[in-house]
Amino acid sequence: MTWQKEADTAARLARQAGDLLKSRFATAMQIDHKGTTDLVTEMDLASERLIRDELARAFPGDLQFGEEAGGADFRRGRVWVFDPLDGTTNFAHGLPIFSVSIALCEDGRPRAGAVHQPMTGETFTARAGGGAFRNGEPIRVSAQTDLQQALVVTGFPYVPGPVIEEMMARLRRLILATQGVRRLGSAAMDLCYVAMGRFDAFWETSLKPWDVAAGALLVEEAGGRVTDFAGSPMPIDRGQILASNGHLHTAVQALLAL
């Protein structure tokens, strides 16, 4: 199966949802809390409604699993897994770093997906066995082999709590070992940037399937490697992720070990 129709649909809907988000960016809106620091805006909900409605029209036999309304068990059958607004805190603060992520999973494995970044106009797409693309042009991970020259990226859980010391220990090691560490606030964007070589590696914990489904496929199809911190194959509900250009994977993995 080529998964072309699914990839095209994911890209189209990610752009539509992105246009909706961009139209309300930096305007007054309803903001609520799902947790102490975990925000949800009216635009998260509006974007998810758009995606759900359009997916139901395009693939009426498929199931859905989204961040805001939940849904089917993505580990069984054909299930669309999506984040209608990845980077909600950035969006709510008027920071133009956020994205829409949509992926089709078959028995828990991403097969096609897209991530759209409304403020840059970039749409990243991938399909299993078909490569990775940015605005229709093929992309590849970086060729960097020297960790000291690498630019890496990470993210922090909403409630660090008992893992704060582990998180800071890993962060310190990577700061000292690399050219630089960034934190953008959108895991889907981080993965896209690894896929196209802007970053050489990405790591994070406490992630959800909708955060990584499309992005993990993008990295793999762009020639990179995606595992958990132990180097094992990573189901998208594993929580922790290490994605890299492949060349630096073992070195970064060693620094993440505690």
Task: Label residue 156 by pLDDT band (50, 70, 90).
Answer: very high
- CB neighbours (10 Å) of residue 246? 20
pLDDT of residue 26: 82
Report the percent of the chain where pLDDT is more than 70.
Answer: 96
Looking at residue 59, its pLDDT comes to 98
Match 């630089």 to its residue by tokens.
180
Residue-wise DSSP of 136-182: TEE--------GGG-EEEE---S--GGGHHHHHHHHHHHHHHSSEEE
CATH architecture for residues 4-138: 2-Layer Sandwich (3.30)
- Which helix (H) or strand (E) segment holds residue 86: the answer is strand 78-86
Q: Which two tokens stand for residue 10?
A: 């994911």
Q: Measured between alpha carbons, how far is 100 from 102 in angstroms, rounded to an integer?
A: 7
User: CA 87, CA 98: separation in Å to the nearest integer?
Assistant: 5
Rounded to an integer, the average pLDDT of 132-149 is 98
* pLDDT at 37 > cutoff 60: no
Which residues have CB under 8 Å from 63's CB, separation 6+?
A: 71, 72, 77, 78, 79, 80
pLDDT tens for 65-123 read 998 888 889 999 999 999 999 999 999 999 999 999 999 999 999 999 999 999 999 99
- Is 147-256 in the same CATH topology as 4-138? no
pLDDT tens sequence across 191-239: 999 999 999 999 999 999 999 999 999 999 999 999 999 999 989 999 9
- Per-residue pLDDT tens over the stretch 16-34: 999 999 999 988 567 776 6
Side chain identity, residue 216: A
pTM: 0.95
Residue 182 CB coordination number (10 Å): 14
pLDDT higher for 131 or 157? 131
- Place 64 in a pLDDT band, splitting at 50, 70 and 90: very high
Reduce the DSSP state of residue 256 to 3 states and report it.
helix
Q: Give 36's pLDDT tier (boundaries 50, 70, 90).
A: low
Question: 66 and 47 in contact (C-beta within 8 Å)?
Answer: no
**What is the distance between the alpha carbons of residues 163 and 109, in angstroms, rounded to a whole number?**
28
Interval 158-198: pLDDT, tens:
777 778 899 999 999 999 999 999 999 999 999 999 999 99
Domain layout of the chain by residue ranges: 4-138, 147-256
Residue 184 has a pLDDT of: 98
Domain made up of 147-256: CATH architecture:
3-Layer(aba) Sandwich (3.40)
3-class SS of residue 219: helix
Say which residue the tokens 């922090």 belong to.
Answer: 156
| 109-117/99-106 β-pairing | antiparallel
User: Beta strand 201-204 with 151-154: parallel, antiparallel or unpaired?
Assistant: parallel
Tracing tokens 């903001």 back to the chain, one arrives at 31
Q: What is the pLDDT of residue 157?
A: 86
Q: Which of 241, 93, 94 is nearest to 153 (CA)?
A: 241
Vertex 166, ends 162 and 167: CA angle to 5°?
Answer: 95
More confident residue, 242 or 33: 242
